[in-house]
Structure 1
């Protein structure tokens, strides 16, 4: 029982809230991430952020840029840069498919969320996305507001 209470304090999902507002999601996939030292402990405590982060393909490897993982307080061995590049773990054929799709105009790789799977391994959900124009953002906000009004009207009757 003490173990269950201890696990409740951990945040298991870190979201990139702006991603769905700024981009149109075309396709998504899940990748592992290579972390060092106490970075996993910091992520388990919720001290990570996916805002302003993106993924690039460099020399046949996928790298996650600008993911903020704050330093773990009780770590005295190794000091790591909080915004360092982190390698994403994908199969070679998945990387090649992504590379072909990224050569299309206006497509980018963005992380949607970071989560721990059932075995306790940190995974990143990546999305192949296209940037939205300002009028697209307004349209999606308008559609979301109309949906909310419809739900409220259903609840009143």
Structure 2
């Protein structure tokens, strides 16, 4: 039999602001419960993780405020663009996250939305702690220093 060729383009939707605003600690990869029109929009790259966060309710992890554009060829049963979507994690991972989030200053932030090799939508979720203003300034300074070093290396 002929092998299936992977014709899907890679979809990597990032939350670039998360690493600036938060100190990323633990990474979890979770599946998402989606409807048919939602996965088609994500495969087309029409989604955004800006201002999204996760919360735990009744032993389930939910992502809030994730934008997935309405599918252009969808009919009357098209999805709502910003709705709460359930994340799929193991019970053990959810219990650990609940325990970690009890301490103040910790939150769950989705950083990357991607399609895996089996065609399923996945989200990388980080347990993070918010940065203070001076931490953000330090991050900007380190970024500018790295950029300056790269410029010097390219000149010679």
Q: TM-score, normalised by structure 2?
A: 0.92
- Determine the structure 2 residue equivalent to 1:61: 60
Instruction: For 1:77-156, list aligned pairs within 5 A.
Output: 77-156=76-155
Query: How far apart, CA to CA, are the structure 1 residues paired with 2:20 and 2:145?
Result: 16
Q: TM-score, normalised by structure 1?
A: 0.91
Query: How far apart, CA to CA, are the structure 1 residues paired with 2:152 and 2:68?
Result: 43
Give the superposition deviation at 1:148: 1.2
Give the superposition deviation at 1:77: 4.1
Give the superposition deviation at 1:29: 1.0
Give the superposition deviation at 1:132: 1.0
Instruction: For 1:27-42, list aligned pairs within 5 A.
Output: 27-42=26-41
Query: How far apart, CA to CA, are the structure 2 residues paired with 1:7 and 1:62?
Result: 28
2:42 corresponds to 1:43: yes
Give the superposition deviation at 1:109: 0.1
RMSD: 1.8
Q: Which ranges in structure 2 are unaligned for 5 or more consecutive residues? A: none
- Determine the structure 2 residue equivalent to 1:17: 16
Query: How far apart, CA to CA, are the structure 2 residues paired with 1:79 and 1:32?
Result: 21
**Alpha carbons 1:67, 1:83 under 8 Å: kept:** yes
Give the superposition deviation at 1:147: 1.1
